[in-house]
Amino acid sequence: MKKIMLCLAVVALAVFTSGLFAQDPAPAPEQAPAQQPAVAPDPAPAPEPTLTSAEVKFDTTTDNKDQKTKLDVYVKTNDGHEVAKSEGNTGRWRRNSTHTVTLEVEGNRTKEDIRTGNVTLTLHPQRNDAWNFDYKVTLTFSDGSSITKDFHGCVLTEHDPARTDSFKG
């Protein structure tokens, strides 16, 4: 009986340790793919600065603007879109005086839209009036930058009541 038991034990040992009954070894833990170094995405381009304020400083020189004469001021893009304006500015602007006109900004125009634009002045005299002046336009943008342009030796009269000056050049 010992022999039979021993034989059965050997057979059982052989059978259970054979490839038929062997369990698959535990799979190796799956490795994550090699990580690429973190690369910061390209930052979005900075938004183009937009016009936040506009003003025009007029220096009357040798001939004043009469009390009832009205002045309209328009800042426009190169293709004629209005970006800022002030209409109906009255009052006597005496020789050698300075007057600043703040314009109302219209829309949300960018610096690039305005860079090649212009300013138009239109005089509406109530009688004969000739006005001699210099003026300076200051446009301020959302990033704190500005465009400033000076114009000298200007004249508007009842016979020649409008002028357009470019920001270029």
Q: What is the pLDDT of residue 34?
A: 60
Q: CA 86, CA 95: separation in Å to the nearest integer?
A: 22
pLDDT in tens, 3-43: 655 545 555 555 555 555 555 555 555 665 666 666 666 66
pLDDT in tens, 55-106: 999 999 999 999 999 999 999 999 999 999 999 999 999 999 999 999 999 9
Q: CA 166, CA 41: separation in Å to the nearest integer?
A: 40
13-44 per-residue burial string, b: 16 or more CB within 10 A, e: under 16? eeeeeeeeeeeeeeeeeeeeeeeeeeeeeeee
Query: Is the domain defined by 51-166 classed in CATH 2.60.60.20?
Result: yes
pLDDT in tens, 112-131: 999 999 999 999 998 888 99
Q: CA 52, CA 34: separation in Å to the nearest integer?
A: 50
Q: How far apart, in Å, are the Cα atoms of 45 and each of 42, 49, 51, 111?
A: 9, 12, 18, 15
Q: CA 160, CA 123: separation in Å to the nearest integer?
A: 9
